[in-house]
Amino acid sequence: MIELQNVSKKFGLNTFALENINLKILDHEFVFIVGPTGSGKTTFLKLLTHEIVPSTGTIVIDGESIAKLSSIKITKLRRKIGVIYQDFKLLFDRTVFENVMLPLEIIGLSSKEITRRVNYILDLVNLARQKNLFPSQLSGGEMQRAAIARAIIMEPNFILADEPTGNLDPATGWDIMKLLRDINKTSNVTVIVSTHNMDAVNSLGKRIVRLENGKIIKDEKQIVKRHNNENQ
């Protein structure tokens, strides 16, 4: 579970990116964080990965306050979290397989286990046939699928996606949102998506937390609406 208690993040003397945020996200939830540019969405995600720390308030993840973690505990925290970026963050001098295997290589898994796990994940995101290609040889949707594969290869408890469809066409963006929904269903992983893609937000029927000027102005569970491309 993730819980933010009276969390504010201030930059400079009087600029609040987030102000007095109180929010609880339960295990296995799928939550959209929405709002206009500058509303605090990216700051919210960076606080959860301990990339930045709150100016005031407390953030609790899996029962532990993360504000003053040691470097070792920060590393352990980040292994629980898979992050997906709008610009993919892939290494262009490595193949899809090599990009996805990198976190496993860092923790010292055997080659046999790395191969098994990467092949399984690439099959899950429908990229098995592209595993020996480089990112420059992929479409935008395929690059984002590779980024998702890398984010889930460590079997995280949480997935944070920062505008994951921002550089994709609407149809491809919808496919990526459905993939995240399916991962949430099948893997019981908590998924938090920051997005402007309101078509997908309204179609998936998940919880929506709306930010404006650094404050939560609405927190609601949507009614599922059938998307025209659901069965395509």
For the stretch 24-36, pLDDT in tens is 999 999 999 999 9
Mean pLDDT of the chain: 93
State the DSSP string of the chain.
-EEEEEEEEEETTTEEEEEEEEEEE-TT-EEEEE-STTSSHHHHHHHHTTSS--SEEEEEETTEE-TT--HHHHHHHHHTEEEEETT----TTS-HHHHHHHHHHHTT--HHHHHHHHHHHHHHTT-GGGTTS-GGGS-HHHHHHHHHHHHHTT--SEEEEESTTTTS-HHHHHHHHHHHHHHHHHH--EEEEE-S-HHHHHHHT-EEEEEETTEEEEEEEPPP---TTTT-
The phi, psi pair for 136, rounded to 5°, reads: -65, -15
Question: Model-level pTM?
Answer: 0.92
CATH 3.40.50.300 fits 30-53+74-221, yes or no: yes
Q: How confident is the model at residue 222 (pLDDT cuts 50, 70, 90)?
A: low
Q: How confident is the model at residue 20 (pLDDT cuts 50, 70, 90)?
A: very high
Q: What is the largest CA-CA distance in the chain?
A: 53
Mean pLDDT calculated for residue range 4-19? 93
229 falls in which pLDDT band (50, 70, 90)?
A: very low
The span from the CA of 117 to the CA of 103, in Å, is 11
Q: What is the pLDDT of residues 50-106, one digit of tens each?
A: 999 999 999 999 999 998 899 999 999 999 999 999 999 999 999 999 999 999 999
